[in-house]
Amino acid sequence: MTHADVLDRARSAIGQGAVYRLGRGGYAPGAPLPFGPTRECDCSGFVCWCLRISRHVFEGHRLYGVYDHEWVSTSTIVQDALSASPGAFLRLAWPQARPGDLLVYAGKPVGHVGVVGEVDANGPVTVVHCSSGNFRRTNDAIRETGVDKDAFWHLRGAIVVRPSWVA
């Protein structure tokens, strides 16, 4: 899978009428859209679908079975990327971001994750993500929006990560 594959898949879900619902979407990696008949999806379900993986992972995985009851979530992506041992996600400096990488932060009670859309010399400029805010504003939870360097993503401590299987 290439960075372009990830980004193309992410953008293909824009305008499809996704409804934001925590814990939904991302269960069928080969499906044409990240959600089922109810059209419900959340950010990590959307990103799992973009990466062609199921958000449900095997019991006993080094991180995912321990921290989030076997689900890929924003917290487990961050924990994996910050781990000293090699995992599924590699943390990068902001200027190293490429379209198709991920922008993610952990949070209480939940964090957020999206697919980097455009970059400049300083890092991500846009991100494709599934959010309740997108849904409230546009009636479609999946949108490509700007990455405000002074607010939202930065204030929450977002990091850039690259899935180990994306070339």
CA distances in angstroms from 3 to 8, 78, 84, 115, 148, listed in the order given: 9, 19, 24, 10, 22
Q: Is 1 exposed, middle or buried (0-12, 13-18, 19+ CB in 10 A)?
A: middle
pTM: 0.91
CA distance 127 to 96: 15
> What pLDDT, on a 0 to 100 scale, did the predictor assign at position 70?
63
Domain 3-163 matching CATH 3.40.50.720: the answer reads no
pLDDT tens profile 106-124: 987 789 999 999 999 999 9
Render pLDDT for 32-67 as a digit per residue (tens, 0 to 9): 999 999 999 999 999 999 999 888 765 445 544 444
Q: What is the DSSP string of 16-55?
A: S--EE-TT-S-S-TTSSSSS-TT-EE-HHHHHHHHTT--S
Domain ranges of the chain: 3-163
pLDDT value of position 166 = 92
Nearest 5 degrees, angle CA 77-CA 82-CA 84? 125
- pLDDT-derived band at 76 (thresholds 50, 70, 90) equals confident
